[in-house]
Structure 1
Amino acid sequence: MDEAIIVDAEFVAPVGTTAGEFVPIDRAPAAGLLLLVAFVVLYAKVISKLGKPAIQEFLWEIITRIVPSKQLRRRKEAQLRAIEVHTQRSNTSSQDQFAKWAKLDREYGKLKVEIEDINNSLTASKARFFTIISSAIFLSTTGMKMFLRIKHRKAAIFWLPKNAFPYPIEYILSFSSAPLGSVSVSAWLMICDAAMDLIVTIFVALVVGVIGMLRSNKVKPKTA
């Protein structure tokens, strides 16, 4: 065939191209990539709606409950002892029993310093933990989106019906490097982001409402 090599009903190879040189475009939708992008957008939306500070506080609370902390145990013991010493000092006369009162006062002062040091150490540990969680959230949301855009910039998530949209729209949907007539990863990320925004908002509102109802029922006073 001199003018062209017909590959299928839709695609015609350029003039002068041999059958061995022409590689037809696979128009099958990339289901795995499509679902991965949708999941990443959904995950990022949930994280955004819950809020990074709330997630950090929740995970810190879980960690401190699951993993025994010597500092927390020491602080609790020091606080209990401080209350006990403060009570004894209050019940001791500084005039009639000055030696005992002074001893209790020195011990109470040492306990206050110890508790403050433990609190400072816990604050530093909590700040480091929050930094780790913040980095993990960034990498798994914004970082993951950037990775998908770069790694699969030439991939076609799925193909649009032929001649269904004008050229400018096809160009935008295929931006930046996907084949013309297809939907690129960048475009699919934006589409999923817009579509899931409302879905996640409704879902989070329902969850918060259910939690609020459960809490209100839990503390609801019993009537005789």
Structure 2
Amino acid sequence: MYLPITIFLLVFITEFILFLGYSYVTSTVHGLYVRLTKDPKVAKQRKLKYELLRMKGELSQTSSQDEFAKWAKMRRKLDKGVADLEKLNSEIAFSKTAFELKVKSVLWVIVHGSQVIMVMWYRKAAVFYLPPGWFGPAQRLLSLPFAPRGSVSVAVWFAVCRRMIKALALTANDFVVSSEKKIPKHESVSS
């Protein structure tokens, strides 16, 4: 009885990933990756941002008319820091895009490839057998493509699980939306 539960869990995980969206999952995974690996570029970016904010504060306190030489030197240093930050930001954005592309590819394989592999691997296996005569001629349809007659095939079970999970998600979403509409807002009593 492990096959139907395995298929249900696989469909649940893949539908959850699809519900969240590839972009959200990849950006979350990238954030975790950066925190766990303590990326030196990100640390340098934070340090540079802090330094630039400090320099901006000093520059705003320096009079451009009274202390022009000091102000000009600070301004050039600030401009160089901003250029360095922009270059570092573009490097980080490029590496983030490359990382997210790899994660999206892995997610695609997990979502679609795992199901195709399961269907191909267990194409002749019965997920479970139906009571004889309950579904009449539909029994043959439920066992398509290669499962024994009178059983439910892996492909059909994937479709049933996906349909049930999507229906439950829509019902839960409708329930949350309708309960939010019914919550009365507190009005102040005017005297």
Equivalents in 1 of 2:93, 2:75: separation in Å?
Answer: 27
Measure, in 1, the Cα distance between the counterparts of 2:133 and 2:119: 26
Of the three residues 75, 78, 87, the one matched with 1:108 is 78
Partner SS, residue 183 of structure 1: strand
Partner of 1:189: 158
Q: CA deviation at 1:197?
A: 2.1
Q: Which amino acid aligns with 2:18?
A: S
C-alpha separation between the residues in 2 aligned to 1:143 and 1:203?
A: 28
1:146 Cα deviation from its structure 2 partner:
0.8
SS in 2 for 1:180: coil
The aligned counterpart of 1:170 is: 139
Aligned to 2:188: none
Quick one: percent identity of the two aligned structures?
27
C-alpha distance 135-203 of structure 1, shift in aligned 2 (>3 A):
farther
Match of 2:126, SS state, is coil
Q: For the pair shown, which has the larger CA radius of gyration, 1 or 2?
A: 1
**CA distance in 1 between partners of 2:22 and 2:67 (Å):** 54
Count of paired positions: 176
TM-score by length of 2: 0.82
For the pair 1:121 / 2:91, whether they are aligned, the reply is yes
2:175 and 2:139 map into 1 onto residues whose CA distance is 37
Q: Provide the alpha-carbon RMSD of the alignment.
A: 2.2
2:187 is matched with which residue? none
Q: CA deviation at 1:66?
A: 2.6
Instruction: Name 1:47's counterpart in structure 2.
Output: 17
User: Hey, what does 1:79 align to over in structure 2?
Assistant: 49
Paired AA for residue 129 in structure 2: W
1:179–1:41 Cα change, 3 Å = same
CA deviation after TM superposition for structure 1 residue 94, in Å? 3.0
CA distances 1:138-193 after superposition (whole Å, capped 9, x unpaired): 111211111111121111111122222222x1221111111222111111111111
Letter in 2 for 1:68: K
Cα deviation for residue 71 of structure 1 reads 1.3
The 10-residue stretch of structure 1 (198-207 or 59-68) with the greater mean CA deviation from structure 2: 198-207
Q: Where does residue 108 of structure 2 map in the other structure?
A: 138
Runs of 5+ unmatched residues, structure 2: 177-191
Evaluate the alpha carbon distance shift between residue 37 and residue 76 of structure 1 in structure 2; reply closer, same or farther with a 3 A threshold. Answer: same
| Whole-angstrom distance in 2 between the partners of 1:170 and 1:40 | 25
Alignment equivalent of 1:95, drawn from 65, 71, 77: 65
Matched, 1:37 2:37: no
- Aligned letter for 2:86? E
Higher helix share: 2
Which residue in the other structure is 2:122 paired with?
152
Question: How many Å apart are 1:122 and its aligned residue?
Answer: 1.2
